Amino acid sequence: MSCLGVLFAMPKKDVDALLVSKYDEDRLEYLQHGIEEDYLDFDSPILKYAAELDKSWDAIHRVMTDGSFGFDNGTFPLNHVIMGGESLYHKNDYYMILKTPEQVKAIWNALKIITESWFRERYFQIDPYDYGHDVDEEDFLYTWEWFNSSLPVWERAAREDRYMLFTVDQ
């Protein structure tokens, strides 16, 4: 698996369509053949509501929390940027984590004031052994770039009362 993370800023109707599925397999099918195909199509008008994170999502989560990987570490709202929220999938091959419009607004208000120096300080506190990757300038720049590229989607989602769905295959 590729471990590529994506954020989707979704209106309620799309979330409702995802939640109709009661089984994990059906939700994953809808995600992969509905949401991903619609939102990630380069010709789609809703592409602006998706933010690809590549593999940076892991480090972003660690920066936003206590430096470790977990679902409930750190404090709200920053701990909800990646792994915090309602888990919609309960197997170990995929994560689907939903944030409500209210949570999205709180997250955006916290994200919009983050500086590179704050992010850098938190990034270089990550334990490389626990992270499983070198904590170095190259990875910092990679992580910072992907984080920054997600900010317009967070802003749009907060402004338009959208949900945010974080997904990644494992």
Burial (Cβ within 10 Å: 0-12, 13-18, ≥19) of residue 121: exposed
Instruction: Give residue 170's pLDDT.
Output: 86
Which residues constitute the domain of residue 97? 5-169
Instruction: Give residue 168's pLDDT.
Output: 98
What is the model's pTM?
A: 0.96
Instruction: Locate 159 and state its tokens.
Output: 């402004």
DSSP letters spanning 103-165: HHHHHHHHHTT--HHHHHHHHTTS-HHHHTS--SHHHHHHHHHHHHHHHHHHHHHHHTT-EEE
pLDDT tens-place values along the chain, 170 residues long: 479 999 999 999 999 999 999 899 999 999 999 999 999 999 999 999 999 999 999 999 999 999 999 999 999 999 999 999 999 999 999 999 999 999 999 999 999 999 999 999 999 999 999 999 999 999 999 999 999 999 999 999 999 999 999 999 98
CA dihedral defined by 61, 64, 67, 70, rounded to 10 degrees? -50
CATH assignment of the domain containing 113:
3.40.1760.10
Instruction: Give residue 38's pLDDT.
Output: 95
How many structural domains comprise the chain? 1
First to last CA, the chain: 6
